Amino acid sequence: MPKIAQIVDAASNLPSEILEKYNIVKIPFYITFDEKEYLVQGKDYSDEEFYKKMAENPDKAPKTAAPNPEDWFNAFKETYDKGFKEIIVTTISSDLSASYQNANIAKNDFTEKYQDSKITLIDTRTCTCGQAALEIKVAQIIKSGKKYFEEISKIAKESIKKTSTIFTVKTLKYMKAGGRIGGATQFVGTLLNIKPIMEFVNGVVKPIKAVRSRRKSLEEMVNIISDRIKDPKKAIICTRNAICKEDEEYMIEKLKEKLNYEGEIYSGTLGAVIGAHSGPGAIGIGFTELEE
């Protein structure tokens, strides 16, 4: 069976141990706090340094830029040179970033030049936790070695409609500044202590519910996800936090209790790509659930 490679953009912020375990290539984004200098995510800036800078500069909203076509092309070439002629690529929702479009430009150029290569490019229509869950699912299938490239590509695409990402933030100002707030504007200014719960629906942010305290927002997210998961044994579940690890641990504890779940929940830091638009204190849960 031919070797199959997996390349992801960094919007899901898969942790290093997952990247190493499944031999996944992660493509970073670019970040800036001004109009002059872009820095490479995860290389020039750690996530912790990024959030510290956000906290120190509350009036400056950072900006992000997607990997460009050259970044994607170079990743395809490096992977190809290692003997991988079949590549599965996943990106953040194309409604949130140009990552998918740039990857598609690179894909067309690459497959024209290297005609023995195959690249499946998947717009996950979500980001962060849900994107990570889908990517881990793909990684597990590739590692099993039981399915061909076309089969895995089909499963990955079918996983999109069975993937959910819900989240809450401490403040909506970063989402508003970055133009990511969408339908959640109905929450703005209604209550002083409002904690909105939102999700990605067909690639864009939509409000689900508003609650009055942080703790209640965490518990309500657990309830929502628990109600959606039909069979926990078949689900890949991920959480992400933006320097609020204790909240994440509380949420995971409640989630395992609610689902009677003994499997692994893949936790981690919310990467700067999403954090730039959600701010410190953002936290979310995502899952995908699909039979192979």
Could you tell me the pLDDT band of residue 189, with boundaries at 50, 70 and 90? Answer: very low
Question: E strands of 67-215, at which residues?
Answer: 86-91, 118-123, 163-168, 195-201, 204-211
pLDDT-derived band at 117 (thresholds 50, 70, 90) equals very high
| In the chain, % of residues over pLDDT 90 | 66
The per-residue pLDDT for 6 is 98
* Structural domains of the chain sorted by starting position, each given as residue range(s) with its CATH number in brackets: 4-33+64-159 (3.40.50.10170), 162-289 (3.30.1180.10)
pLDDT tens-digit series, residues 15-68: 999 999 999 999 999 888 766 567 677 677 777 778 887 878 777 778 888 999
Split at pLDDT 50, 70, 90, the class of 167 is very high
Contacts of 42 (CB under 8 A, 6+ apart): 10, 26, 28, 271, 272
Residue 166: what are its φ and ψ, rounded to 5°?
Answer: -125, 155
CA distance 120 to 142: 14
pTM score: 0.91
pLDDT at 286 over 90: yes
